[in-house]
Amino acid sequence: MNSRLERELTEFLTSLKEEGLYKEERIIESSQGRKILVGGKTVLNFCANNYLGLSDDKRVIRAAADAMETFGFGLSSVRFICGTQTLHKQLEQAISSFLRTEDTILFSSCYDANAALFEPLLGEEDAVISDELNHASIIDGIRLSKAGRFRYKHSDMNALEQALKASASARRRLIITDGVFSMDGDVAKLKEICALAETYDALVAVDDSHATGYLGETGRGSVELCGVEGKVDIITTTFGKACGGASGGCISGRKPLIDLYRQRARPYLFSNTLAPAICGGTLKVLSILQEDHSLRKRTLANADHFRNLLKTAGFDLIDATTAIVAVMVYKEAKAVEFAEKLLNEGIYVIGFSYPVVPKGKARIRVQLSASHTTEDIERAAKAFISVGKTIGIITEL
């Protein structure tokens, strides 16, 4: 590396720090959970995707360990060479049955699932129509395909309809949306989206990473919550959030589509198979979810309670009904300061800023879990209110 490049990088990184955009990683010295050890201090954790509190669930850990004992540590292969075990087929079947789809294909992550989603299905003569707030992995997946690109204003159904009209000459059209938008916590208007797709003969794909496991009557996600099961052609999701939080993801949907991905999806063909422990642990999560709906109810009740406490105190929240509570701060440096002061109070949250959210829209994203107790939530709200007043985010009522 020459000295000019080194100087340029140093200047860039320094400017990130000055703008409050530099992401520091805090080191956790314990397992993931409601309480974690950070820098020698035990804090209450409100920034994990551990919506159901299953990340350190003893039953899941046991099942993962058993799978590892029986099927080994790794496969040292991609699926189609010698990386498919009975466990992989069982997990694919269990997900299809849980999501009520025809078939499922596993990936190392949902990032990979989204990287795989577009390129095999859509060519130059096709179009993909995407919500402007879709997850980065969707944006990157779209970049890998040659399809025409249409982006519509967030959840704006008129804008979506305009895009459907503008893409009328395409051979195939695919509408893609997050089920729950990760930075705002709102749910996609899937009923309206599916109705428009039917009118204009487009396919619908939903990335339900922030919903699978806890949203909807039986935890089947935003697709269930919005009553559009059977109308969504493709679901992608992760096992890295509510479903145990280890890693892994999938595409689930109509059988011919899944068959296509097995033949042509590059992240599937050229990347290692899922480790047995992940398959065994995720299978256990799915069986817990079918028997026990108390976890998901607690997640949502906890989120409602926290949201109400902050709303009453005068915080500016993005309107949502999921386990994500976005507390708007706007200024990047202020969001960093807010999160730091909360950590001093024993509440671990993260300030999100560009490029994760638009510039000038910095926020604290609070994520509630079934594992939080009412006391945890009230303690966190109290800390938000006292720090919020100290740094001028809310005023004395």
* Residue 365 binding ligand PLP, by CB under 6 A: no
Query: Is residue 76 annotated as part of the catalytic site, yes or no?
Result: no
Respond yes or no: is residue 210 known to be catalytic. yes
Q: Site size for ligand PLP, by CB under 6 A?
A: 14
User: Under a CB-based contact definition with an 8 Å cutoff, are residues 164 and 129 in contact?
Assistant: yes
Decide: residue 32, CB within 10 A, 0-12 exposed, 13-18 middle, 19+ buried: middle
Closest distance between ligand PLP and the C-beta of residue 356, in Å? Answer: 11
Segment contacting ligand PLP by CB under 6 A, of 31-39, 52-60, 107-115, 185-193: 107-115
Q: Could you give the string, one character per residue 293-322, with x where binding to ligand PLP holds by CB under 6 A and - elsewhere?
A: ------------------------------
Of 50, 96, 137, 302, the one binding ligand PLP by CB under 6 A = 137
Contact call for residue 135 and ligand PLP (CB under 6 A) = yes
Q: Which of 182, 209, 353, 369 is labelled catalytic?
A: 182
In the bound state with ligand PLP, the residue whose beta carbon lies nearer, of 170 and 250, is 250
Cβ closer to ligand PLP: 45 or 109? 109
**x/- site string to ligand PLP, residues 168 to 207, per CB under 6 A?**
----------x---x------------------------x
Reduce the DSSP state of residue 152 to 3 states and report it.
Answer: strand
**In the structure, how many helices (H) and strands (E) does the chain have?**
15, 13
> What sign does the CA torsion over 222, 104, 293, 370 have?
negative
Catalytic residue among 241, 284, 334, 361: 241
Q: What span, in angstroms and rounded, lies between the C-alpha atoms of 190 and 226?
A: 6
Please check whether residue 328 is in contact with residue 363, taking contact to mean a CB–CB distance below 8 angstroms.
yes
Coil, strand, or helix at residue 124?
coil
110 lines the binding site for ligand PLP (CB under 6 A): yes
DSSP conformation letters of 166-199: HTTT-SSEEEEEESB-TTT-PBP-HHHHHHHHHH
Helix axes 58-71, 276-291, angle to 10 degrees: 140
Q: Is 241 a catalytic residue?
A: yes
- 130 touches ligand PLP (CB under 6 A): no
* 210 near ligand PLP (CB under 6 A): yes
So which residues are the catalytic ones? 182, 210, 241
